[in-house]
């Protein structure tokens, strides 16, 4: 054991500069992700604020039973999985297409479109929520005013849940697709240009070069992003599902997800135990999904798997 420790110390000291560079990130992960894990115990207790976390009564799986027996569990699970699954599939497809199109543009135009595509990513969901309200306001919204000009009946968007999967998808794409597209574009830039030159000499068209060279060579990047997104499929973007629908009760059938449910449980009901149980359920399902996805990818191509 002493020999092994001595060997590890020599390895550490030899690469100490790299370890010290990564130390701030390690500390952030440890402090904000590992230390708070003791709070998992809240999901198994009937929290009494006067007694504190450790002094509160142990109730075992009561909070989970209460959560799963409610009519909300199935609804928020369905909405979370279906909407986030839709975002992953459509979002990555659109980002890949845009990344390929950017790779076909000249350097001057790429900078312009990069700025246009990347700008919405820096806007907060609060701002996006206000912009969407300006468009969708039932009385004074831009869309309803346009419908009136075209002699169509205005739509009360905030009481019609059937429209909202499409609205949320379009909002998500507008804000996030540029970020992922630039990641794909960066991956395409790393491909050796000699591949395209050889294909061009052999008579391959641009579409054939994309199908046979571009997509296969960035497939590991596509797979990695897909698996990371699947791992977070049960972690919805809280700002999107809360600020854009404006927490309208009429829309819960299609917009209520685990994150908004947990927040509302804490804000309205104040049930810390049940909210923690829902959050732990969210984490467990996310872990299962990322492990299952990794095993699936590993079965077909070990090199593209994360672990």
Q: How many domains does the chain have?
A: 1
Rounded CA-CA distance 299/294 in Å is 9
- Assign 3-class secondary structure to 252-268: HHHHCCHHHHHHHHHHH
Among residues 192, 2, 203, 185, the alpha carbon closest in space to that of 97 is found at 185
Tokens of 73: 């569990």
Confidence label for 234 from pLDDT (cuts 50, 70 and 90): confident
Residue 201: pLDDT above 70? yes
Q: 3-state SS string over 48-116?
A: ECCCHHHHEEECCCHHHHHHHHCCHHHHHHHHHHHHHHHHHHHHHHHHHHHHHHHHHCCHHHHHHHHHH
What does the alpha-carbon distance between residue 52 and residue 139 come to, in Å, rounded to a whole number? 48
pTM for the complete prediction?
Answer: 0.82
Domain hosting residue 114, numbered range: 91-257
Give burial (CB, 10 Å; 0-12/13-18/19+) of 242: buried
Half-sphere exposure of 136 (CA within 13 A, CB side): 19
Beta bridge partners of 57: 46
Segment among 3-7, 45-49, 95-99, 272-276 with least mean pLDDT: 3-7
**Residue 23 resides in a domain:** no
> What does the pLDDT read at residue 306?
67
Q: Is 47 left (phi over 0), alpha (psi -120 to 50) or beta?
A: beta
Q: Tell me how far apart the alpha carbons of residues 101 and 97 are, in angstroms, rounded to a whole number.
A: 6
Distance separating the N- and C-terminal Cα atoms of the chain: 27
More confident call, 22 vs 302: 22
CA dihedral 100, 106, 108, 109 (to 10 degrees): -50
CA atoms of 282 and 269, how far apart (whole Å): 19
Task: Kindly state whether residue 165 falls inside one of the protein's structural domains.
Answer: yes
Report yes or no on 297 lying in a domain: no
In terms of DSSP bridges, do strands 45-48 and 56-58 run parallel, antiparallel, or are they unpaired? antiparallel
Residue 1's pLDDT band (boundaries 50, 70, 90)?
A: low
Average pLDDT over all residues of the chain? 85
State the pLDDT at residue 106: 67
Given a cut of 80, is residue 109 above it in pLDDT?
A: no
Yes or no: say if 200 and 287 are a contact pair by the CB < 8 Å rule. no
Q: Residue 62: inside a domain, yes or no?
A: no
The answer to whether residue 74 is domain-embedded is no
- Is 90 exceeded by the pLDDT of residue 197? no
Share of the chain above pLDDT 70, in %: 97
Query: pLDDT value at position 262?
Result: 81
| Mean predicted confidence (pLDDT) in 222-248 | 85
Would the pLDDT of 304 be above 70?
Answer: no
Which carries the bigger pLDDT value, residue 299 or residue 200?
200
Query: How far apart are the C-alpha atoms of 150 and 166, rounded to whole Å?
Result: 22
User: Does any domain span residue 121?
Assistant: yes
| Rounded distance between C-alpha atoms, residue 256 and residue 264, angstroms | 10
Classify residue 202: in a domain, yes or no: yes
As a whole number of angstroms, the distance between CA 91 and CA 95 comes to 6
Which CATH number does the domain housing residue 141 bear?
1.10.3720.10
Query: Is position 161 within any domain?
Result: yes
Question: Which pLDDT score, from 0 to 100, does residue 115 have?
Answer: 80
173 exposure class (CB count in 10 Å sphere: 0-12, 13-18, 19+) = middle
């Amino acid at each position: 054991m002493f020999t092994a420790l001595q060997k590890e110390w020599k390895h550490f000291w030899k690469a100490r500069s790299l370890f010290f560079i990564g130390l701030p990130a390690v500390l952030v992960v440890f402090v904000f992700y590992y230390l708070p894990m003791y709070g998992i115990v809240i999901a198994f207790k009937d929290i009494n604020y006067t007694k504190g976390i450790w002094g509160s009564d142990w109730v075992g799986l009561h909070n989970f039973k209460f959560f799963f027996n409610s009519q909300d569990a199935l609804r928020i699970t369905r909405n979370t999985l279906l909407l986030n699954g839709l975002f992953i599939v459509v979002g990555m497809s659109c980002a890949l297409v845009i990344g390929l199109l950017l790779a076909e543009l000249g350097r001057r135009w790429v900078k312009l479109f990069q700025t246009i595509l990347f700008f919405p990513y820096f806007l907060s969901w609060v701002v996006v929520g206000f912009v969407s309200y300006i468009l969708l306001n039932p009385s004074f919204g831009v869309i309803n005013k346009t419908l009136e000009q075209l002699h169509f009946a205005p739509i009360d968007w905030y009481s019609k849940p059937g429209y909202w999967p499409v609205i949320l998808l379009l909002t998500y794409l507008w804000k996030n697709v540029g970020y992922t597209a630039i990641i794909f574009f960066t991956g395409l830039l790393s491909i050796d240009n000699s591949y395209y030159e050889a294909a061009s000499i052999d008579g391959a068209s641009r579409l054939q070069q994309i199908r046979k060279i571009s997509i296969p060579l960035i497939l590991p990047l596509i797979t990695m992003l897909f698996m990371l997104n699947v791992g977070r499929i049960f972690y919805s973007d809280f700002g999107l599902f809360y600020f854009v629908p404006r927490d309208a009760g009429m829309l819960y059938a299609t917009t209520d997800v685990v994150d908004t449910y947990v927040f509302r449980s804490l804000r309205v009901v104040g049930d810390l135990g049940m909210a923690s149980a829902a959050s732990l359920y969210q984490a467990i399902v996310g872990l299962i999904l990322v492990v299952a996805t990794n095993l699936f990818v590993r079965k077909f191509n070990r090199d593209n798997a994360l672990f």
